[in-house]
Structure 1
Amino acid sequence: MITCVRLQFVINLQPDESTKIQLKTNHNFLQSLAQKCKTQFELQCDQLTVIFPNKRAGVYFADYLAQLYAQPIWSPTILSFEEFVEQKQNKHFADDLQMIFLLYKAYKEIVKQPEDFDAFFPWGEMILKDYNDIDNYLVDVRHIFRVIKSQKELDEAFRHLSEKDQQTIQGFWKSFLPTPNKKQNEFIATWSILTELYDRFNDLLNENGLIYKGRMFRDYAEQVDSLESSETFWFAGFNALTKAEESIIKSYLKNGNTDIFWDVDAYYYNDQNQESGTFFREYAQDEHFKPSISRDLKETIGQAKLEIEILSAPFSMGQIKGAAQKIEQLSLTKAEQSELLIILTDESLLQSTLHALPDQIEHANVTMGWHIAQSRAYLFLSKVLALHDKYQSNQLKKIQHKEILALLEYNDLLAIDSDRISKFDVEALKSNSVYQLTKNAQEFFPEMAVLLSSVDSVQDLIVNLIAFIKDQNLNLLSDIDRSVAVLVHGTLKRINTAMQQHNVQLNFNSFYKLFLKLGSTLKLPLSGDHKQGIQIMGILETRNLSFKHVLVVGMNEGSWPKDSSNTSFIPYNIRKAFELPTVEHQDAMQSYLFYRLLHSAENLWISYNNISEFNHNGELSRYVRQLQYESELSFKLASLVNPISAGTEPVITIQKRENVLNGLNEFLVNEGGTNKRLSPSALNTYIDCKLKFYFQHIEKIREPDELLEDMDPSLFGNLLHGAMEHLYTGRQHWKAEDISDARSSLDQAIKQSFADQKLTENNEQTGRQIIAYEVIKAYMERILAFDEQHAPFDILGLEATDYFVDFPIETMDGSVQVGLKGIIDRIDEFKEVVRVLDYKSGRDDRKFGLMFDLIDGKSNKRNKAVFQLFYYCMLYKENHPDIKKPIQPGLFNSKDLFDDKFDAMLTQTIDRKNRPVLNYTDFEEEFKDVLLYLLTEMFNPHIPFSQTEDEQKCQYCAYRQICNKG
């Protein structure tokens, strides 16, 4: 049972301005409600109970009320609707884990051959959501599941619908179940047990003294008509009520001593086409709600002062930069900063936003749900579970040292110094070691002894994980990682208890999958001090709150409103018929949350991503478009073109006039295909110097032929590539002994490569060619030595294959596809991993930093070789869309090739933290983003071909005479 504490406000006659919430002049719903409370109850506010949609609104209301009194008073009882009903019912809400395990227990009792828990888990989540909706909206359980189960009964139930609607429903089922098969029959069987499962699940909950939200609200809604109460209740700030909530409120209104207050504006209420007013217009048809809606209807939007700015910017980086600049422009005092709200439509932008805040912001208070899967603490523990899963599936019970090194990427969480990691790495490479979890690896890192201990069961592993987290000095972690560790610790304890109580057995792979699913569902409930500093919130957290300055980051269509996903057993038309929430319901809710920001804001700043990415479109939200077209509000539009680098105007620029664009458009794919495609070397040229790209690929000015007496780097590279291709051509599967035998063919392969380049006469080399020959041979011997250590492997492709990709971008003329191509040095498969390998004879590095640095021509951290490798991985992946195996880029670079510890793997290093590139897929989205940015810039007619400002790049350029650089 929840105990409600009545708070006593102690109000200073001269409150501290730095902590006082600023009272506003524009309409503020909670402030107005506080004034009503004072006027009606004076010093007897404790006679009132106020119920809000969420706790946060109650906190702000309490503060506004406190500021109206000059002496201490007893406050009203302030509750969220959930707390109110939970108190009345004297029951406790079950958490998600308790529900899924109890549902599985009920499922096993009913089904003769139940699925394993990890297979049941996603189905179970869907079932729980549907049960919750059905109860929240007071739907007859047996009726709806009978309709779903039987096609004939479905036809009967929808006889009142038009023939077109009936055909739509039938079409749904036919497309979903075209011909019966085993899986579909199992699915139908699941439908047939949903009613029985509902009853047994609720019985189990009752036996454990638990209940879920929808059922609690349903039960109370069915009881409340018979209850009498002399208390005074206010329901405030509601919009989209469920049928159960609506029934409860109406019952209290009928009993008297109850009122309801709405936060509604005439702008969208009076417009029948406005989604935001949908629910209010429906409630106004009800005799219990109509008087209060008429009383509370305000005319604020379009009447009060409001400045709206819209920033069009590329990617989240540009938007966050724009938001930081806007905050600086506002120049808010410390006391005024609590009046600034930043809304993040994508919670993953939180960390970047916090880092970008100007120095003048002393406090930033975050109130939002944040998925734990984004934290380093969770990622570390998931790698531990992956290691155990692989270890258990390995008959030899061995793991490679690289798998332990993957854990040590998180050495900051473990307080392990880098010297010990380096020593471990050296020792392991010398002996080519593999490890038993119970032995060798623990000797190096006793801090991980519990994690690396061999276990026989999942429950033993859970016990070890719980002990490990408990023994850590959590004060060494960041605030977020510490909170995640505490949350995961509690979750693991609940999983362990549930497995024992409900006799659920999980194997290591099932537990690993469950942990990954929890990462995408568990959220850290971040909550900050609302009195000091700026406020950062998600969309839902803004309900009922009012701010003078509002910044919305990520106001794209698909982000707000969010794309609705149909994760339900109940089809759309059946939901519609039974008045369950649908996509339209969600859209109306989200639309209202946007428009109510306009009730009180004096400054509204909105940013959106103007680049169409692979998981986002580049369109401004339709809510803002509606406001632009339908209101008389004024808008200030701005655009951020290039957040990467902005320097002085270069000396030579070529504007993209019609003839230039015609040459550039030759790289676009049309109905007849394209004769020209961009290679990675062409893109690297563009990044280094746009003007050089123009000379080479648009004007097609040939570079002057030169005598190659000194064996230039380009020719040297071609010789090495050719020799390796000759050596490995003709055999697919390579064992260690095959590589040993291939050494006898080294000389012949190199000679053939020289002949291909027409550098030999009568098979003889002279001068510097002899030196080049020996150097190439030394390189190849090192490559063979590496390959011998990593045999067996299979060659999947050498330089003979051209890979093509048609890459979509958005231009000012609409959607187009850019023709891309590339020839990959070598593709092989080693231990179920596809490796995309490149040979580099220069001083290229295998380490790189930020992905954007790869395309920033002004960055001294730009790594051409890594850009090229990611490009090759993209080509291979796009040409093999069904590939399931990891794709791992690798670089044989001469700089490191002769090091005893050489490994071809790439490593991303950011803030001194190393992240090996084990799988291109982990970096795919980010790389495609930067490639999209690069190509969008290239085809932007307003960005000219400009000359590089780095004159070192001009030193060996064939066009330096044209630019007056040589």
Structure 2
Amino acid sequence: MKAFLKTVAQDMLAKYGTNMSDIAVVFPNKRAALFLNTYLAQLAGKPIWTPTYITISDLFRRHSDLKVADPIKSICDLHKVFVACTGIDETLDHFYGWGQLLLADFDDVDKNMVDAKLLFANLSDIHELDDVSYLTDYQKAMIKKFFSNFSDDHNTELKKRFLQLWSHFYDIYVGFNQKLAEQQLAYEGALYRKVVNDEDIDFHYKKYLFIGFNMMQIVEQTLCDRLLKQGKALFYWDYDKYYMEGQNEAGHYIRQYLKHYPNELASYPQKDIYDNMSKNKDITYISAPTENIQARYVNAWLKEHNRYKMGRNVAIVLSDENLLQSVIHSLPEEVKSVNITIGYPLQQTPFYSLIQQLIQLQGTGHPQHSETYRLHYVLTALRHPYTRFISSRYADLLEKLEEQKRFYPSRDFLSMDGDEGLSLLFRNLEEQTAEATQSSYNKQLISYLLDILRMIGTQAKDLNDPLFHESLYRTYTLLNRLQELITSGDLEVDTITLERLIQQLIQTTSIPFHGEPAEGIQVMGVLETRNLDFDHILVLSCNEGKIPKGVNDSSFIPYSLRKAYGLTTVENKVAIFAYYFHSMLQRAHDITLTYNNATEDGQSGEMSRFMLQLMVESQHPIVRKTLIAGQKPLRPAYDEEPKTEEVMKVLDDVRMLTPTFLNTYQRCQKQFYYKYVKGLLEPDEIDEDEVDNRIFGNIFHRAAELFYYGFASKSDIQTDEKGKQQLIRPIVITADILDQAMKDKMLVDRLVDQAFREELFKVGNNDYHPKYNGLQLINKEVIASYLRQLISIDRRQTPFTIIGMELVVSDTLNVNTSRGEKQFKIGGFIDRLDAISPISNISERIRVIDYKTGRAQTTHPKDIDEMFSATPQALSKHTDYYLQAFLYSMIIKNSKRYNSAQDPVSPGLLFIQNAGAEDYDPTLKLGREKIEDITPYEEDFMAHLRSLIADIYNPALPLRPTCDKKRCEYCPYAGLCK
């Protein structure tokens, strides 16, 4: 294969020698110039004076005293003209989106040199069509067809509105161009048109060589005509006989241009240059279920036939440039050099997420006119990887927030005693003045973002990471430009639109890679392949919608008028992509095209229409293959864990066997392994929106504890060194005491507030008044209603005696294990221990009460055997709750401290939600029998308990996962266990 540009270089040297200082080479894009320069140097074999390389855009801009206006400023100026011409007081926020459409239409009008006055003619005056002799009959028919849609007979409200808007378009077009010209600015199409209409421009190069063009706008053709007339323009066309014959759309434009712009390579053997599609080619089509699998295939493709050794003769073309990261990571280690022409998307750098998080922190995360922030947004900002460059104390603040759980921390709290970085991060952007406007806030916001970026740049100046510094520079430059537009008054939008603009700018910005372009494997986008030839080419994501790109005809200019006046239509765009597709394959002999065959996530699952066309028309044999995932889905193995010496040592070191310890073993031994043997704690996430079940229960328990402690004297309560309170003398509760307390209507709310402070916000200070969000407020009201319900239940039981609340109890138990008799400490926390009046001729009954805020099951375990069963049916009856209540009751029964009189002990579960009935009794039942005294069940229960503990401490019994897979749905260790 002889590259097209190599033939061009050969011809240039033959015609102009080694001194081409008065030659300008014009390319559609910049990249081809680097390859042509390399070929010139190789073929000359000695120093040469190279020509000047410019793009077609550079050629126009060099001959104009105007500058191309910034796109955002263009829309801002267009908006002002629009309002002035139409009298419609449309805000810039609403105008911005379709302002972009209108600007694109004006650009298209000028690049195709259409008479705007005729195009935007008043539709009500069809006689304006009488003098359009320059139009063909077909064009006139198209225009009349369009105009007929607006006859009075068929008017609708929508048509009236369009007609009203259309009548102003020419005035807007003229006014907009004048406004930009006053500032020495223009949009690209207007600049191009001004250049070709300026007869005084002197094109000072001796020759202009136009190389490898396909579609040229009318304004570009006009420039070529002018240079051709002066004897300065020469043309090198890159095409193939395959699509130049017949009606193949890939050759649509070049077929026309060859008639007017002769080909400089016409004298060369045409078969060598322009008949490469007929030569033997190895073409492979590969379907794949995901984009990622296609990217990963790059590794295997390069290693196959040692393609990675072919250097710059190998190209990997990305139809979807979002695959760049995956492709880079898939390159094999054997690849020594690679040249990437696709810019690295700024959107994929951490600076994009940082800007988003900072805007959200100061917007949604900061209640208006307050000094507080929402915790979720604070945590998100502090956990960003670049926060470490803002303040070295960010980790201290995170730790402090996790300790205290302030869901609405104040600015003073967050600044950590005036830390410079944190004070900047949580800076107040609101001007506390009556004149404060949206514009002033936007200025403050952009200034804030720039200050953050400056601080990051200062703190990270020694960081050896080129991508980091280039990303920082690009982001700073974009925001700085927005600040200039806001300061000048050009950009007056609300913050939501400003945020969208920032997002749009970053999404369309890329960071260029630097390197020797003519060396190594080439990774590029479709547009970069123009004029370049490769022996081996792999095209990824060659799907319909990507090749050709998903073209749309969004425009204010209807299709019939576009067609009539020669403006760009969908057909034009498809023809352009058809040329890109065929030209990048025409000289390659090793071609692989992959496409996504999935029909999900917005994918159509179709190969490109050009691939289908190649199958039908090219006569080349095409191999079809399919990529599948390299790994098979892992099926749950449910592996058991043997009780090794290390496992047994951990179990022997357990200080106290709690009901949770025992119940976890019964529910799932594998979960028991992760939790108690490996010590993997469940994540304790701070969530400002949700009070989970554990926290909800803790708040309720503490509120109930505070209520009953209110009836004790200070001498009745003892506080340990950790601040934990405990009764040292019982409290007698009567109906009168409860009635008197409940006269204070705010008592329950105050107690719940205090419980929230201690259990959720982790603040013991009663002067701290937490600010509840919506869900927290709902939870507070629910807990308050539960506490009132509890008090109502207790009143029916009066008189009774509170012996203890949140009580730590324990006992020792001797168990015969496979390793001999061992003594274990068993125990835990009792929510409430009380004693009630005589029932069934028993002098007094001690109750072990466990509060439950969930709903009770309608069925109960029928016996002790079922209580120790791990079947789904048994566990659905709250057998784990029963085991806990029974265990605590056994400890209290044998306790000299709490039951010296050997009174009956009764286990109870108080389900608050089910406690509304007058005869509600929390006493547990086995079957239908209430357990008013635990003694008859003691022997059976203790035998089962000893058997359970013996199993746990038996090294011969491995730890097996549960057979009930429903439990895995909510298990925190499911990701480990599979």
Report the TM-score when normalising by structure 2. Answer: 0.63
Correspondence for 2:557: 570
Structure 2: distance between partners of 1:777 and 1:31: 89
- Gap change, CA 1:108 and 1:167, over 3 Å in 2: closer
The 5 Å alignment of 1:481-500 reads 481-500=468-487
The 5 Å alignment of 1:226-241 reads 231-241=206-216
Write the deviation string for residues 459-496 of structure 1: whole angstroms up to 9, x where unpaired. 12222322322332266485444333212211222222
Correspondence for 2:182: 207
Correspondence for 1:116: 91
2:40 to 65, 73, 94: 65
Is 2:337 the counterpart of 1:363? yes
- Aligned CA RMSD, in angstroms, stands at 4.5
Amino acid at match of 1:236: I
Correspondence for 1:737: 781
The 5 Å alignment of 1:341-360 reads 341-360=315-334
Amino acid at match of 2:540: V
Correspondence for 2:5: 30
The 5 Å alignment of 1:767-846 reads 767=868, 772-773=880-881
- Using the TM superposition, give the Cα deviation of residue 197 of structure 1 relative to its aligned residue in structure 2, in angstroms: 2.2
- Using the TM superposition, give the Cα deviation of residue 239 of structure 1 relative to its aligned residue in structure 2, in angstroms: 0.3
Partner SS state of residue 335, structure 2: coil
Partner SS state of residue 89, structure 1: coil
Structure 1: distance between partners of 2:425 and 2:390: 14
Structure 2: distance between partners of 1:537 and 1:867: 46
Partner SS state of residue 450, structure 1: helix
- Gap change, CA 1:362 and 1:84, over 3 Å in 2: same
- Using the TM superposition, give the Cα deviation of residue 40 of structure 1 relative to its aligned residue in structure 2, in angstroms: 0.7
Correspondence for 1:509: 496
2:255 to 281, 300, 325: 281
Amino acid at match of 1:485: L
The 5 Å alignment of 1:530-609 reads 530-609=517-596
2:157 to 180, 187, 204: 180
Partner SS state of residue 67, structure 1: helix
Structure 2: distance between partners of 1:234 and 1:379: 45
Write the deviation string for residues 240-298 of structure 1: whole angstroms up to 9, x where unpaired. 010111111122112214211100111000121x11111122224x4445897797964
Correspondence for 1:372: 346
Amino acid at match of 2:471: V
- Using the TM superposition, give the Cα deviation of residue 110 of structure 1 relative to its aligned residue in structure 2, in angstroms: 3.8
> Is 1:29–1:544's contact at 8 Å kept on the other side of the alignment?
yes
Structure 2: distance between partners of 1:61 and 1:629: 34
1:314 to 284, 289, 293: 289
Partner SS state of residue 429, structure 2: coil
- Using the TM superposition, give the Cα deviation of residue 33 of structure 1 relative to its aligned residue in structure 2, in angstroms: 0.7
Correspondence for 2:374: 400
Structure 2: distance between partners of 1:296 and 1:236: 18
> Is 2:250–2:582's contact at 8 Å kept on the other side of the alignment?
yes
- Using the TM superposition, give the Cα deviation of residue 387 of structure 1 relative to its aligned residue in structure 2, in angstroms: 2.0
| 627-636 or 75-84: bigger deviation | 627-636
> Is 2:139–2:563's contact at 8 Å kept on the other side of the alignment?
no
- Using the TM superposition, give the Cα deviation of residue 453 of structure 1 relative to its aligned residue in structure 2, in angstroms: 0.9
Correspondence for 1:53: 28
1:435 to 393, 397, 409: 409
Structure 2: distance between partners of 1:508 and 1:865: 47
Structure 2: distance between partners of 1:194 and 1:185: 15
The 5 Å alignment of 1:927-942 reads none
Identity of aligned residues (%): 24
Partner SS state of residue 577, structure 1: helix
Write the deviation string for residues 208-264 of structure 1: whole angstroms up to 9, x where unpaired. 222222112212222359867671221111000101111111221122142111001
Partner SS state of residue 536, structure 1: strand
Partner SS state of residue 753, structure 1: coil
Correspondence for 2:173: 198
> Is 1:450–1:465's contact at 8 Å kept on the other side of the alignment?
no
Partner SS state of residue 357, structure 2: helix
Question: Is there any run of 5+ residues in structure 2 with no aligned partner, and where?
Answer: 431-440, 639-662, 672-692, 698-774, 791-849, 887-907, 913-960
- Gap change, CA 1:254 and 1:388, over 3 Å in 2: same
Partner SS state of residue 286, structure 2: strand
Is 2:56 the counterpart of 1:81? yes
Amino acid at match of 2:570: V
Structure 1: distance between partners of 2:15 and 2:111: 33
- Using the TM superposition, give the Cα deviation of residue 505 of structure 1 relative to its aligned residue in structure 2, in angstroms: 3.2
The 5 Å alignment of 1:802-951 reads none
Is 2:79 the counterpart of 1:92? no
Question: Is there any run of 5+ residues in structure 1 with no aligned partner, and where?
Answer: 1-25, 648-686, 691-707, 717-723, 786-859, 869-890, 897-907, 909-949, 954-966
Correspondence for 1:912: none
Write the deviation string for residues 38-67 of structure 1: whole angstroms up to 9, x where unpaired. 111112222322111111111211111111
2:615 to 618, 628, 632: 628
Correspondence for 2:446: 462
| 413-422 or 313-322: bigger deviation | 413-422
- Gap change, CA 1:99 and 1:312, over 3 Å in 2: same
Correspondence for 2:941: none
Amino acid at match of 1:376: P
Partner SS state of residue 319, structure 1: helix
Amino acid at match of 1:342: I
Amino acid at match of 1:592: Y
Partner SS state of residue 625, structure 2: strand
- Gap change, CA 1:593 and 1:163, over 3 Å in 2: closer
Structure 2: distance between partners of 1:407 and 1:154: 62
Correspondence for 1:144: 119
Structure 2: distance between partners of 1:77 and 1:287: 25
- Gap change, CA 1:86 and 1:638, over 3 Å in 2: same
> Is 2:450–2:480's contact at 8 Å kept on the other side of the alignment?
yes
Structure 1: distance between partners of 2:305 and 2:967: 41
- Gap change, CA 1:249 and 1:165, over 3 Å in 2: closer
- Gap change, CA 1:141 and 1:477, over 3 Å in 2: farther
1:753 to 857, 872, 883: 857
Structure 1: distance between partners of 2:267 and 2:148: 44
- Using the TM superposition, give the Cα deviation of residue 363 of structure 1 relative to its aligned residue in structure 2, in angstroms: 3.0
Partner SS state of residue 138, structure 1: coil
Amino acid at match of 1:306: K
Partner SS state of residue 215, structure 2: coil
| 234-243 or 410-419: bigger deviation | 410-419
Structure 2: distance between partners of 1:364 and 1:441: 47
Structure 2: distance between partners of 1:115 and 1:475: 49
Partner SS state of residue 558, structure 1: coil
> Is 1:101–1:502's contact at 8 Å kept on the other side of the alignment?
no
- Using the TM superposition, give the Cα deviation of residue 749 of structure 1 relative to its aligned residue in structure 2, in angstroms: 8.1
The 5 Å alignment of 1:410-449 reads 410-412=384-386, 414-415=388-389, 420-421=394-395, 424-428=398-402, 430-437=404-411, 440-441=414-415, 446-449=420-423
Correspondence for 1:843: none
Partner SS state of residue 44, structure 2: coil
Amino acid at match of 1:593: Y
Structure 2: distance between partners of 1:631 and 1:178: 50
- Gap change, CA 1:485 and 1:420, over 3 Å in 2: closer
> Is 2:597–2:605's contact at 8 Å kept on the other side of the alignment?
yes
- Using the TM superposition, give the Cα deviation of residue 741 of structure 1 relative to its aligned residue in structure 2, in angstroms: 3.0
Report the TM-score when normalising by structure 1. Answer: 0.64
Partner SS state of residue 606, structure 1: strand
